[in-house]
Structures are given as structure tokens and as C-alpha cells.
Amino acid sequence: MTIKKESVPTNSRIKQKYGSRKGFLLNSFYKTLYHLGYYKKFEKIDWQKVKRLVFVCKGNICRSAYADILARSAGMRSISFGVDTVDGAHANDRAIAVAGKLGFDLSNHRTTTFKNMELRESDLIIAMEPWQTAQLIAKNEKGYQCTLLGLWSSAKYPYIHDPFGSSEEYFNSCFKVIEEGVGEIIKKTRK
């Protein structure tokens, strides 16, 4: 079997599209699981029940903060939190800068922890990585609906690599996937 040279991404292409080699490998691993049907349960949403979007990532300083501001700017009820953060921290400086270039102001964003969240039955919990959904499902006694944001983007990313510490190019790539996913979720919620 011969691999075409253009099908193997270069190191700079990996950093631009996936953030790092780790991001590329994890993305490939989780996409394989997706194609094997492992994440189908996260695509089964009762859209009529959804009244508020709840975005989740690790630190609530990049991905979930950006997804939240996108949803709010589209008129959706939305909040965000981190599964491994402290309350009241600012958004990441590079996230603020990239979001600003895209027309969104993250300068007033402050982090929120899971313990300070009041979830409602009408919430749709939207995580960036599969391990976050597993952690939330374990704490989710009431059975709130949960999904992965990247499953709603055109290329299906069950794993959206954390852009923290990455280049501006990867922030742009990451935020594009987030924009696609949030846009599709908003369309489905409004139908």
C-alpha cells in the first residue's frame, strides 16, 4: 500500500489545523471512534426541549467562552463553564485577540466552575472533548441532554483540541470549527 505524499500532513499543517501533534493524534483517534458509531448517542437530541445552551471545556478561557459569546450574539440563551478551572478568571489573551478580530469581545468573560452551575432540564450541555462528556454524565443524576460541539460542524470533530498555548493560526482553525458547530446547533434549536 502506498500513501500519497499530499495525504500526510506536514508539521506546520498539523500545528495550523490541529494545534499540535497530540491534537492531530487525538483528533484522528476520536474520528475513528466516531466512524465506528461510538458517539451516535450524542447526536440524538430532542431539539424541542432545548431552551438554553451550556458550553463546556476544560478551563472556560478559550473554547467554551467563544462558543458562549457566539450563541449570545445570535440571541440564544447561553452560559459556559470549565470542568477544571477556578471562578472569576479572565479569558485567555490570545482567545480575546482572535475573537476580537472576528468581531466578538471576550474581554468581559469570567470563568465559572461546574460546582457553581445551576443546570435545568431544558439545557443542552455541549462539550468540546469526549472526556468532558464522560465526566459530566457521571455527575448528571437528572439525565440532561449532552452532546459534543464538533459533531455539528461539517467535518465532524468529536474532539476539538484545546487551543491554549497554540498559535494564532490554530486558534483561527479551532474557532472556525466552533462557529460551524454553534451555527448548526442554533439552526436545529430554532426549528
pLDDT in tens, 180-190: 999 999 999 99
**Would you state the pLDDT for residue 8?**
59
- pLDDT recorded at residue 42: 95
- E runs forming strands in the chain: 52-57, 78-82, 123-127, 145-148
Q: Per residue in 5-55, pLDDT tens?
A: 445 578 889 999 999 999 999 999 999 999 999 999 999 999 999 999 999
Q: Which residue is associated with the grid cell 432540564?
A: 121
pLDDT band at 135 (very low <50, low <70, confident <90, very high): confident
Average pLDDT over residues 94-112: 97
Determine if the pTM surpasses 0.75: yes
Q: In this predicted structure, what is the pLDDT of residue 140?
A: 66
Say what the pLDDT of residue 118 is: 86
What pLDDT sits at residue 137? 75
Closest to 54 (Cα-Cα) out of 155, 126, 134, 140: 126
Which pLDDT score, from 0 to 100, does residue 134 have? 82
Reported as a single tens digit per residue, the pLDDT across 142-178 is 778 999 999 999 999 999 999 999 999 999 999 999 9
Backbone angles phi, psi at 124, to 5 degrees: -110, 115
| pLDDT tier for residue 72 given thresholds of 50, 70 and 90 | very high
User: Kind of pairing, strands 78-82 and 123-127?
Assistant: unpaired
Domains of the chain: 11-190 (3.40.50.2300)
Full DSSP string of 74-99: TT--EEEEESS--TTPBPPHHHHHHH
| Higher-pLDDT residue of 116, 70 | 70
Contacts of 161 (CB under 8 A, 6+ apart): 18, 19, 20, 22, 23, 26, 27, 170, 174
